[in-house]
Amino acid sequence: MIRTPALRRRLSFRRKTRKVILNAIGVIVALVTLFPILYMVSTSFKPSTEIFSLTPHLLPEHPTWSNYVQVINGSVIGIPYLDFLRNSLFVTLVAVVVSSLVALLAAIGLARFRFRLRSTYLIMLLIVQMLPQQGLVIALYLDFRSLNLLDSLTGLIILYIAFALPVTIWMLRNFVAAVPRDLEQAAAIDGAGPVRVFWNVLLPLVAPGLVTTSVFAFIFAWNEFVFAETFLGLDQPKYTLPIYVTYFFGKGAANWGDIMASSVLFTIPVMVFFLIVQRRLRSGMIAGAVKG
Amino acid sequence: MLGSQKRAGPPPASSPTVTANGQWRSPLPVRFLVGRKTRRLAAPYLLLLPSAALLILLLLWPTIQIGIYSFQNYGIPQVLGTMPTQWVGFANYSQIFSDPEFWSSLKISVVFAVIVVPLTLIVGTLVGLLLNALGRRMAAFVSTTALLAWAMPPVSASVLFVWLFDPDGGVVDWTLARIPSWLGGGAHWAGYNWTTSSAVPAYTIVLLLVVWQAFPFIAVSVLAGLKMIPSELGEAARVDGASPWRSFWSVTFPILKPIFMVLLLLSVIWDFGIFTQAYLVTGELGNRNEYNLGIYAYDKAFTTPPSYGLASAMALILTLVLLVISIWYVRANVKQGATA
């Protein structure tokens, strides 16, 4: 193709229009995606007169903290928000720490050793990951009932550890496998025992992977609804945040300002986590779903 | 990094020493070396033991229990031990299959998955292609907003969408009522009850909610796949005069096929088994004409009087359907060498 100046101009004009159109579509996609989140935040700042007004406004006309004040000092349910936050943080953090440890052991076993049951174990991981929670909850409810673990945060922690394991192990395995074996061998030749090799060589190198997988475990445990809803029953002081957010919902006159405020407070930690580990998470997501 | 070079102290224990009669001798007793070998053999099993125990006790065993209960008359009297547990053969299953509610919930689950899965994949793929075509800054902006939607807890998202579609003060009804009727709007939308009237509007909300939350994952996965394709391939297709449509189907799609396969199976598993969002949007338990399979099973177990036998039979059916799909998923993974 001979590129005359006229043709070149036409091509560059076409490229520019193409770029403008693509960027416009990009902005539209971003706005459509963001709209519900922004509307949630905006509703949480609206006084109830504006929430029930017949013309909804995008932004609150008289922004107010009153919804947040009500949620935080607990005048809605009679228990302050911080109690539920503490429940959720306790359950989530213990589950994340324990499941990361257990998963790291398994990941080392899978990435560093060849043994007979290895592929059986890996296939079991893929399958248990698919078992539907709303089915398991029936049997687990009966088991935990006989073990006296209903209405208890310990029961939830045990469950969250187990349910976070398949994905965590699957992803950590790739991270451990990525650590060059030579480093460990060099350390071993220098006289470091297995514990030292683990502590001084493997752990620092796997740490970024551990951060990524613990974000997944964190999000699972923080968001979990089915088991918390079923096991905690009417024991309000033990509610975790997801149950708190849905508590007033579907019970007659819903106060959307309060619900949205509690929902914002519940969502923020997850979003912040996400933004912090975003880049690593993107590669991690794929590592978990599709082997990279 | 290793730190051992800096360490002063005894020489490394593993260096062999030479004894007085000139023989090489290991610095460690033989017994220890044997122990080391058995330890090396046992090590992987010890490392896997805690996770295997948790997974077997809390995931596999309950699944087997569900299988057992589904052939028994298991209810509150049996749990309390006031009445004996009896084997009832396939009675639970025949009762379920003769229940019209089961068939309506099955229909809802199937139709929902059949519509939502392709929709999510198409939207996700389109956004993935868009991200690939955008400049770096714009792509980062769009994918960050998309990931925020993905990061939203399902509970918050469900509550939020019910609020958006609320008959009193919800923004959707208000907007629809102001859209001209030839665009499908009109005054009859004002105060329209989406969630509790019937299944179609309620699951429309669930559909939008699921597409909104799931497309980022598809888009980012597709984008990662697109980055692996050498750009010469697309250029070659363009030089040969292929339309974008044609070049997608004959260049991009075949290369991304394994990724699409895994994304398709994961979406089927998630959307067919969807619970939390459907449960919250349809108003928890009670709106029986809006049950999907998961809610139906849950209802049998947790509304009084509970019938754990029936619920287990139901849960087992759901589990088996998902397992059959999972087997494809496992095979797709094995083919890619993920279990190697």
pLDDT tens column, A32-64: 888 999 888 888 888 877 777 777 777 877 788
Same domain, A50 and A90: no
Instruction: Please state the rounded mean pLDDT for residues B149-162.
Output: 88
- Residue A120: which domain range? 78-289
Burial pattern B143-159, b for ≥16 Cβ within 10 A else e, equals: bbbbbbbbbbbbbbbbb
User: Which of A130, A223, A262 to mutate: most B Cβ within 10 Å?
Assistant: A130
Same-domain status, A139 and A226: yes
Q: Please check whether residues A91 and A62 belong to one and the same domain.
A: no
Please give the mean pLDDT across all residues of chain A: 81
Could B322 and A267 be called an inter-chain contact, meaning their C-beta atoms sit closer than 8 Å?
A: no
Comparing B238 with B325, the larger pLDDT belongs to B325
Which residues does chain A have within 8 Å of residue B323's beta carbon, measured at their own beta carbons?
Answer: 127, 130-131
- The CATH number covering residue A223 comes to 1.10.3720.10
User: Does A136 reside within a domain?
Assistant: yes
Higher per-residue pLDDT: B104 or B180: B104
Query: Any CB–CB contact under 8 A between A161 and chain B?
Result: yes
- Kindly report which listed range (A157-166, A242-251, B96-105, B274-283) carries the lowest average pLDDT score: A242-251
pTM, two decimals, is 0.79
Query: Is pLDDT above 70 for B288?
Result: yes
A180 found inside a domain: yes
Confidence tier at B13 by pLDDT (50, 70, 90): very low
Q: State the architecture of B99-303 in CATH terms.
A: Orthogonal Bundle (1.10)
Percent residues over pLDDT 90 in chain A: 7
Q: Which of A67, A98, A121 is the last residue of a domain?
A: A67
> Each residue of A198-227: pLDDT tens digit?
888 788 888 878 887 888 888 888 889 989
A182 and A268 fall within a common domain: yes
Residues A184 and A48 in one domain: no
User: Is A22 among the domain residues?
Assistant: yes
A200 and A258 inside one domain: yes
Q: Using an 8 Å Cβ cutoff, are A208 and A281 in contact? A: no
* pLDDT of the residue at A157: 93
Could you give the maximum distance between any two Cα atoms of chain A, in Å?
84
Q: Which of A67, A97, A115 is the last residue of a domain?
A: A67
Residue A126 lies in a domain: yes
Q: How confident is the model at residue B18 (pLDDT cuts 50, 70, 90)?
A: very low
Contact with chain A for residue B123, Cβ under 8 A: no
pLDDT of residue B252: 79
Same domain flag for A25 and A136: no
CA separation for the pair A267, A277 (Å, rounded): 16
pLDDT score recorded for residue A186: 81
Q: What is the pLDDT of residue B299?
A: 87
pLDDT of residue B336: 66
pLDDT in tens, A94-124: 999 999 999 998 988 888 788 888 888 888 8
pLDDT at B237: 75
Nearest one of A130, A259, A162 to B156, comparing CA atoms: A259
Model confidence band, residue A263 (pLDDT cutoffs 50, 70, 90): confident
Domain ranges of chain B: 99-303
How far does the CA of residue B180 sit from the closest CA of chain A (Å)? 17
Do A227 and A86 fall within a single domain?
Answer: yes
Please report the pLDDT score of residue A95 as a whole number.
Answer: 92
- Examine residue A72 and state whether it is found in any structural domain, yes or no: no
Where does the pLDDT of residue B239 fall: very low under 50, low under 70, confident under 90, or very high at 90 and above? confident
Which tokens hold the place of A129? 């990951």
Q: By C-alpha distance, which of B32, B80, B271, B282 is closest to A246? A: B282
Report the residue of chain B nearest A34, measured CA to CA.
Answer: B145
Strand partners, B24: B18
Taking only residues 123 to 152 of chain A, the set having a beta carbon closer than 8 angstroms to any beta carbon of chain B reads: 123-128, 130-143, 145
A266 vs A248, residue with greater confidence: A266
CB contact under 8 A, A138 and B297: yes
A207 and A111 inside one domain = yes
Residue A76: band (very low, low, confident or very high) from pLDDT cuts 50, 70, 90: low
Task: Please give the tally of structural domains in chain A.
Answer: 2
ipTM above 0.85, yes or no: no
Residues of B in contact with A132 (CB under 8 A): 273, 275, 294, 315, 318-319, 322
Percent of chain B clearing pLDDT 90 (strictly above): 6
